[in-house]
Structure 1
Amino acid sequence: MARSRPRILLGTSLKMYFGHQQTLQWAQAVAEILAASPAVADGRVEFFVAPAFPALPETVRILAPHPVAAQDVAAAEPGAFTGEVSAAELAEIGVRLVEIGHAERRRLFGETDATIATKCAVALRRGLTPVLCVGEREPEDAAAARVVVDQVDAALSGPLRDTPDRQVIIAYEPHWAIGAAEPAPAAYVREVCGPAREQLQDRYPGLVMLYGGSAGPGTLTALGDAVDGLFLGRFVHDPHNVAAVIDEATSLLGHAIR
């Protein structure tokens, strides 16, 4: 008998690829796919999306009751911060998750571990679940698991000191695999995520670990129980591919309970 696997979490960020109407059309198509899936209906497969800020309210409406994420959040409570978006406002419009610490935010906008920890703290205070992005810059084999653990601790050990059981989602995205033609080798991801998740779940019981970085068809099957799901990339810009990954997840869950 295979080990019981209660659910698989799938998510994606649309980054800045889509225009407003394209985002809403995509969301409507995905809503129909989610509504048609028995595994989504009974909670065995969950799906979230992070659209651009202007599309958030309408995407929340279209995809309800499924969770919607913001791609970023201000590292401060509401106040005089021109151009920023507060966790308070995101929560007010129905956003439930927030992506924090993506490699692009680190590389292009100079976000540090301290900034990321502050954003996690603000999000958690406002009831939002962080989707914390972590990963090494170059392939590091055994050392990569330590990089992941250290990045998670830097972001969460302070914010979750008093509430370690709060759910947080870790998106393991090795920087060198983001935007690549293929995901990181499955054996490499298992070697990183297995030990890292084991250590981290002892400290943060509510932790869920996803793999991102050119994830696509077959990635979930190849990774097996090393992760709890996928943070998908451009593959799911075609809504039909959302359906394909949900079908793959449903099949895996069916095998796990036999």
Structure 2
Amino acid sequence: MRQPLVAGNWKMHGSRAMARALSQAVVRGTAELDAIEVVLLPPYVLIPRVSEEVADSAVVLGAQNVATAREGAFTGEISAPMLREFGCRYALVGHSERRQLFGETDALVAKRALAALQEDLRPIVCVGETLAEREASETEDVVLRQLDAVLSAVPEAQLGQVVFAYEPVWAIGTGRTATPEQAQAVHALLRERLHRLGAEIGRRARILYGGSVKPGNAGELLAMPDIDGGLIGGASLVADDFLAICEQAALRRE
């Protein structure tokens, strides 16, 4: 069975004190949840603080993005080797906020994913449709286009290191959540596409769900056969809420 993964995307929130307290609470609260993998994705400037707090635990550190180049004249970018040096093992790429607010294209997202893999960082690749695209019955076309851009760039031998995340844009931070059935349908679609590359790739690939996941709806979502965990936004900033979701993910493995 695929190991469930719960990743907390703090977005642009936090301070040194908050990072310390929240990281410590997550480390304590997940100490016995060895059935799942827990990843924290703080803002860049808080990575050193979080790295210190999770160093001797099973909690894994990640970044919210990664540059396409190893080094050079790329003001404002942070490279994969830099992230590795501070203990990161994952990098989020293609989040809808990056796509919509900063104009990141499918091609750029694919380059970021490949850059992460080349430095032994595991990319968490986000795909998802807007409300207008869903209402126009374009969900399948959109998410498969986004997925295929990554699949065409990443060598097949490295696909096992990639985590995928379906985040319907209309459900991110809106309080609206895809029903378990809606989410499962898209997850199954993504897995079927991965199956075409090989049965083992499709079987092993972890696909997370994100979009207003809370303790109250996590159980139903995580019970779906093709949902392997959650990419958690707002609820990851509240220790009790995040830990409740982690506990429900652990139940999925039992």
Instruction: Compute the TM-score of the two structures, normalised by the length of structure 2.
Output: 0.89
Q: After TM superposition, give the deviation of residue 102 of structure 1 in Å.
A: 0.8
Residue aligning to 1:84: 77
- Secondary structure, counterpart of 1:12 in structure 2: strand
Choose from 207, 210, 234 the match for 1:209: 207
CA drift of 1:170 comes to 0.8
Does the 8 Å contact 1:220/1:229 carry over to 2?
no
Indicate conservation of the 8 Å contact 1:100/1:133, yes or no: yes
Partner of 1:157: 152
Q: Give, in whole Å, the separation in 2 of the partners of 1:120 and 1:164.
A: 11
Residue 55 of structure 1: aligned partner: 46
Aligned partner of 1:16 in structure 2 is 12
Q: In the alignment, is the contact (CA less than 8 A) between 2:24 and 2:54 conserved in 1?
A: yes
- CA offset at residue 122 of structure 1? 0.9
Partner of 2:87: 94
2:123/2:162 contact within 8 Å kept = yes
- Structure 1 counterpart SS, 2:145: helix
Give the % identical residues.
35
Gaps of 5+ in 1: none
Cα shift readout 1:107-145 (whole Å, capped 9, x = no counterpart): 111111121111111111011000111101122586423
2:22 maps to 26
Which of 79, 95, 115 is equivalent to 1:122?
A: 115
Residue identity matched to 1:19: S
> Residue 165 of structure 1: CA displacement?
4.1
TM-score of the aligned structures, taking structure 1 as reference length = 0.87
Q: 1:219 aligns with which of 217, 240, 245?
A: 217
C-alpha distance 201-11 of structure 1, shift in aligned 2 (>3 A) = farther
Aligned letter for 1:187?
E
Give the superposition deviation at 1:202.
3.9
Give distance in 2, aligned partners of 1:123 and 1:6: 22
Map residues 101-180 of structure 1 onto 2, 5 A cutoff: 101-138=94-131, 139-140=134-135, 143-161=138-156, 163-180=157-174
| Alignment deviations for residues 47-97 of structure 1 (CA, whole Å, 9 cap, x no partner) | 101001111122122123421110111121211212211111111221000
Q: Say if 2:204 is the partner of 1:232.
A: no
Deviation at 1:203, TM superposition (A): 2.3
Cα distance between partner residues in 2 of 1:248 and 1:88: 34
Change (3 A) 1:62 1:181: same
Q: Deviations over 1:237-258 (max 9, x none)?
A: 211112211222233333xxxx
The worse-fitting range, judged by mean Cα deviation, of 218-227 and 141-150 is 141-150
List 4+ stretches of structure 1 deviating above 4 A.
Answer: 140-143
Note the aligned Cα RMSD (angstroms): 1.9
Counting matched residue pairs gives 244
Cα distance 1:140–1:203, how it changes in 2: closer, same or farther (>3 A)?
A: farther
